[in-house]
């Protein structure tokens, strides 16, 4: 009887030892998930989507590996490679954050620079409108130009909303389009003013 008890205890002890040695990497997985969440906070998924999606997919693949290991009998579970992969993924996601922030800042700066040029151009158009010939003959033309400047002002308001919402690419399209029109107005008014001077 004593022998049987010893035998059972040994089996249980070995089982505990095997299970204890091959625990799923909960902490590492939590760290990787947290890293993904913090990358989303800086909109890595929006500004560097290819890299972000690749890492998200790698993390999904590791999750599959973890569950595959869990599905095995506890004798054959091995999380060593998975642990290493999780650490590597967490590090890579960490590196993704500054990259995303840099890209976001770059896009924002580009659109803000173009917007600054556009705003200056619109102001120049307005200044030229004041200087433009006010005679009877110019009135209708000036009214038409004033309407166009009003449209450009409305565009600037829309662009600012897009920038606030972080939609920099659409904002850039709108800014470029409005810039072309603002330049055309500037040229038209400058020509009218120089004609009068002559």
Partner 1 sequence: MHFHKIRKKLFFIVGTILLLVIIAWVVSLFFQNPPTEKIEAGRKAIAEAIKEEAEVYSAPELNLARKNWEDAMNDWKENNDKTPIARNYERTIILADSAIANAQNAIKNSVQRKIEFRREIEKSLPVLRSKIAFIKTAKEKLPLNHNVWKKFTPAILKMEEVESAFKRNDLFSAKKNLESLTASVNEIERQTTELLNKYFSSYPEWLKLDAEMRQRSRANGSVSVLVDKFSKKCIVYKSGKKIREFDVELGVNWLGHKIQQGDRATPEGKYSITSKKAGRNTVYHKALLINFPNSADRQRFNNQKASGSISKNAVIGGAIEIHGGGGKGIDWTDGCVALRNRDMDNLYALCSVGTPIAIVGSLVPLEKIFDLVPH
Interface residue list for partner 1 (CB under 8 A): 3, 7, 10-11, 14, 53, 57, 60-61, 63-64, 67-68, 70-73, 75, 135-141, 143-144, 147-148, 151, 155, 169-170, 172-174, 176-178, 180-181
In the complex with partner 1, the residue whose CB is nearer, 63 or 112, is 63
Q: Least separation, in Å, of the C-beta of 198 and partner 1?
A: 13
Supply φ then ψ for residue 131, to 5 degrees. -80, -15
**Residue 128 vs 178, nearer CB to partner 1:** 178
- Residue 89, sorted as left (phi over 0), alpha (psi -120 to 50) or beta, turns out to be alpha
How many whole angstroms separate alpha carbon 46 and alpha carbon 8? 58
What's the number of CA atoms in the CB half-sphere (13 Å) around residue 61? Answer: 11
CA dist 52 and 37 (Å) reads: 11
Question: What is the closest distance, in whole angstroms, from the C-beta atom of residue 100 to partner 1 in the complex?
Answer: 17
Match 């939590």 to its residue by tokens: 30
Alpha helices (H) along 49-167: 49-71, 80-131, 136-164
Q: Which two tokens stand for residue 12?
A: 């249980």
Of 64 and 98, which has the nearer Cβ to partner 1?
Answer: 64
- For the CB of residue 196, give the shortest distance to partner 1 in the complex, in Å: 11
Least CB distance to partner 1 at residue 180 (A): 6
Q: At what angle do helices 49-71 and 26-41 cross, to 10 degrees?
A: 160
> What is the rounded distance in angstroms from the CA atom of residue 123 to the CA atom of residue 32?
50
CB 171, min distance to partner 1, A: 10
Q: Which is nearer to partner 1, 14 or 41 (CB)?
A: 14
**Nearest to partner 1 of 17, 105 (CB atom):** 17
Instruction: Select 90 or 155, whichever has its Cβ closest to partner 1.
Output: 155
Shortest gap between Cβ of 187 and partner 1 (angstroms)? 15
Nearest-5° Cα angle at 103, 48 to 50: 10
């Amino acid at each position: 009887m004593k022998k049987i008890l010893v035998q059972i205890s040994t089996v249980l002890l070995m089982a505990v030892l095997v299970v204890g040695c091959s625990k799923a990497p909960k902490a590492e997985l939590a760290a990787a998930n947290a890293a993904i969440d913090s990358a989303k906070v800086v909109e890595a998924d929006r500004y560097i989507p290819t890299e972000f999606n690749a890492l998200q997919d790698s993390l999904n693949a590791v999750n599959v590996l973890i569950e595959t290991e869990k599905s095995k009998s506890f004798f054959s579970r091995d999380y060593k490679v998975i642990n290493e992969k999780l650490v590597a993924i967490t590090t890579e996601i960490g590196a993704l954050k500054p990259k995303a922030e840099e890209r976001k800042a770059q896009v924002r700066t580009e659109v803000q620079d173009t917007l600054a040029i556009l705003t200056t151009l619109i102001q120049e158009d307005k200044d030229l409108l004041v200087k433009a010939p006010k005679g009877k003959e110019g009135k209708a033309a000036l009214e038409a130009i004033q309407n166009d400047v009003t449209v450009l002002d409305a565009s600037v308001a829309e662009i600012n909303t897009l920038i606030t919402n972080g939609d920099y690419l659409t904002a850039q399209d709108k800014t470029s389009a409005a810039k072309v029109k603002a330049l055309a107005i500037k040229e038209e008014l400058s020509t009218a003013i120089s004609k009068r001077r002559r």
